[in-house]
Amino acid sequence: MPESVDAVEMQAALLRLRRSSGLPVAFGGLLADARHARIAELNGAQTAALRGLVISAGSGLGGKAIALSRPCAVTDYHSSRHISHEYDMAVAAEGLRSVVAVPVVVRRKVRGVLYGALREPITLGDRTFDAAVAAARDVEQALVVRDEVQQLLSVTREQVTDPRAAPEAWEDVREAHRELRALVPKVVDPALREELLTVCGLLASAAGARAPRPPAVQLAPRELDVLACVAAGATNGVAAERLGLRPETVKGYLRSAMRKLGAHTRLQAVVAARRAGLLP
């Protein structure tokens, strides 16, 4: 998994975990393979002892959470009889005692692990567990979005290179464009977001290259997102659900796009956007 997801989304999740739980230390990382996670991000740590630590499935508290695919906790890490102790030196260097570990699970597959910890041997309550699980869910959702993006990108890169594709193939391209546009606001990684927008532009320009273009029209990103949904046949309500907006907001973006395109109906707006190379 690229470092950017680890750095961007993991840092945000660890910060949310500390703020919502009150735990002074949070750390975590994604799996490099099926059985090993690397601790890449620390929040609130006083040393670098945990950074870069490779956690094996079944070893230590985090390894136990990975192996069982469920949250695990200890009140006093060093004296716990319920975990193995391969990582005691690093844990002791940071002065951690009470620790919770939560696996990041995407489609039943463990993709990472998050930890929250105290420097006192105190039993962790439901609030702490809930906060840790919620932070892991945040990372899970980011990975789900990235997986969807990568899958769509792999398909659309092939489609966009053939502007002579059959009409039915271009319907697939248009659907992929709509889905990619809907995913853009959910992507945290700036590099991936930029790649996403680049591919959307290529899809639109490849389709538009098949016909002469009038002077360029500038649409705001959300106006284009709404128009892509409309082009796929979505009502304002459906577009709002897909984009996470209110129906009234969708209507406002659509009106603005229609005005810029000189269109009086939804269909005219879609046709004008395609001719301008804004939609495939």
Instruction: Using the predicted structure, report yes or no on whether residue 258 has a pLDDT greater than 50.
Output: yes
For residue 158, what are its two tokens?
């092939």
* Cα–Cα nearest to 141, from 179, 186, 180, 189: 186
pTM above 0.75, yes or no: no
Amino acid (1-letter code) at residue 185: P
pLDDT of residue 205: 64
User: Are the C-beta atoms of residues 105 and 149 closer than 8 Å to each other?
Assistant: no
What's the pLDDT tens digit per position in 178-203?
Answer: 777 777 777 766 777 777 777 777 66
Rounded Cα–Cα distance for residues 189 and 194 (Å) = 9
Average pLDDT over residues 234-262: 89
Rg of the Cα atoms in the chain: 24
User: Are the C-beta atoms of residues 116 and 26 closer than 8 Å to each other?
Assistant: yes
Backbone angles phi and psi of 110, in degrees to 5: -70, 125
Share of the chain above pLDDT 70, in %: 81
User: Are the C-beta atoms of residues 191 and 264 closer than 8 Å to each other?
Assistant: no
User: Are the C-beta atoms of residues 176 and 203 closer than 8 Å to each other?
Assistant: yes
What's the pLDDT tens digit per position in 127-173?
Answer: 999 999 999 998 998 888 777 777 766 656 555 555 455 555 556 66
What is the average pLDDT value for the chain, to the nearest integer?
84
The set of residues, in sequence order, having a beta carbon less than 8 Å from that of 144 and lying 6+ positions away, is 106, 107
Average pLDDT over residues 85-100: 97
* Cα–Cα nearest to 113, from 99, 123, 124, 127: 99
Q: How confident is the model at residue 273 (pLDDT cuts 50, 70, 90)?
A: confident
